[in-house]
Amino acid sequence: MGRARRGATDLNGVLLVDKPTGITSHDVVDCLRRASGEGRIGHAGTLDPMATGLLVVCVGPATKLAEHLTAADKSYLARIIFGTSTATDDREGEVLEQATPPACLADPEYVQSILAAFVGEISQMPPQFSAIKLDGVPAYRLARQGRQAELKARQVRISSLELLAATADSWDISADVSKGTYIRSLARDIGQAVGCPAHLGELRRSAVGQWRVSQAQPLAELEAAARAGSLTEHFLELAVGQ
């Protein structure tokens, strides 16, 4: 009789995780692997360590669904901070430039005019600190070495941008975007459009395809369920391949 493959269980399904800030998407996967004993676990769409919100995690044979789920449109809640640009295009990076934000940033009509220019099919340059690989090397690794990765602009689709709140130095927005869209890049480019350096201050993924973060559960609860042998109770009701 053949030996069971190491790290394989009978677990098979999709989880919706509400990722906390301060850890990577891979950290989430590692936590669930250790807790469940299942090695075949992957996520469908990376969230930066700073970001929180919906992370779709595939377990067991359901990992075959990951590529399909990654292609789904995504929704975010974001805060853009004006007056400072950073090397990572978010609050965690080294400050590159500072300037006083213009007074018009608090004017909702002005904000709407800027946001409207980014809705639709646009060309977007990914951040230097990104997981895009060049000759097998992630761009962020080159950036950490002080080297400039030769990234290429990508065509992405922004279905909607809605203003939630505006102050003299920050905008809270909601964004519905296609696969491959970087909200960090969007914050950077909006800053360039208003003539003031900007970066991403907060980010929460609120939806992936049909699923909403309100359906997700905290990582700690799913870890506890995995250790207790009750993780299957948290799987979505999907027909997945064996």
Q: Which residues are catalytic?
A: 48
- Long-range contacts, stretch 146-152, CB < 8 angstroms, 24+ apart: 151/125, 151/126
Q: How far is 51 from 205, CA to CA, in rounded Å? A: 8
CA angle, 87 then 182 then 43, to 5°: 110
Decide: residue 103, CB within 10 A, 0-12 exposed, 13-18 middle, 19+ buried. Answer: exposed
SS3 assignment, position 145: coil
What number of helices (H) and strands (E) belong to the chain? 6, 14
State CA 34 to chain mean position distance. Answer: 23
Which residues sit opposite 211 in a β-bridge? Answer: 208
Q: How far is 102 from 240, CA to CA, in rounded Å? A: 52
The residue among 197, 163, 74, 182 whose CA lies nearest residue 123 is 182
Q: Strands 198-208 and 52-59, how do they pair? A: parallel
